[in-house]
Homo-oligomer: A and B are copies of this chain.
Amino acid sequence: MEFSSKLLERAVNEVSQLPGIGKRTALRLVLHLLKQPKEQTTALAEALQNMRNDVKFCKSCHNISDVDLCEICSNPNRDETLVCVVEDIRDVMAIENTSSFKGLYHVLGGKISPMDGVGPHDLNIISLVNKVKEGRIKELIFALSSTMEGDTTNFYIFKQIQDYKVFTSTIARGISVGDELEYADEITLGRSIVNRVPFESSLKI
């Protein structure tokens, strides 16, 4: 792709480094900005830089936060004996949206994935194990993706903490609400039968 302007070319190249955005999409986005008032580009550029330079991670759960201890960790109404282990902050947002969890989170920052060069020491696992060692956590809920990498990470953490007195659980796998049974894959369907729940408890939510 040949550009008539170096400034345009540099902008397109930078935007196309974002995941899932190719050169054509980048050009479309950049030309859109050119048609908008200058203030929009300034606001976008400043928002990105401020975010990148000033954003903090909660020192306890590693969630993104503007202060040292995030709103969830510093909320006295939340149950600090119940900790949900998730991959990244999008999972925190998704679970918070359900309003069904009143404990704290621990954000790992990814999954163990040798193929992508991510080992246990690249994730926030040591601080989680230390929290367990302190003995205040009663239950640890694993809420990672149901993939090989997710299962590996669950198991790695489980091995690290199995000698300490903590109950570990994992989120239920089963048929999604609204799904047709006949289209479910057999592993999910099998698990949903093995891990069936009393009918009365299913009426609560």
Query: Which residues of A are interface residues toward B (Cβ below 8 A)?
Result: 1-8, 10-11, 13-15, 17-21, 25, 27-34, 38, 40-56, 58, 63-66, 70-72, 88-90, 92-93, 96-97
Contact = CB atoms under 8 A, between A and B. Distances in A.
Given A3-B64, A5-B51, 18 more contacts: A2-B93, A4-B65, A5-B56, A5-B65, A7-B50, A8-B55, A8-B64, A10-B47, A10-B50, A11-B50, A11-B51, A15-B44, A17-B44, A20-B28, A31-B89, A33-B51, A34-B55, A44-B45
A69 B84 CA distance: 61
A3 B58 CA distance: 13
B66 A27 contact: no
Copies assembled: 2
29 contacts: A1-B93, A2-B97, A4-B63, A4-B64, A4-B70, A4-B72, A4-B92, A6-B66, A7-B50, A8-B51, A10-B51, A11-B47, A11-B48, A11-B50, A11-B51, A13-B47, A15-B48, A17-B40, A18-B33, A19-B28, A20-B25, A20-B28, A28-B90, A34-B55, A34-B64, A41-B49, A41-B51, A45-B46, A45-B49
Contacts of A58: 4
A31 B51 CA distance: 10
A72 to B, nearest CB: 7
A155 to B, nearest CB: 24
B33 A52 contact: yes
A17 to B, nearest CB: 7
Given A46-B45, A48-B33, A66 B14 contact: no
A53 to B, nearest CB: 7
B17 A38 contact: no
A56 B21 CA distance: 25
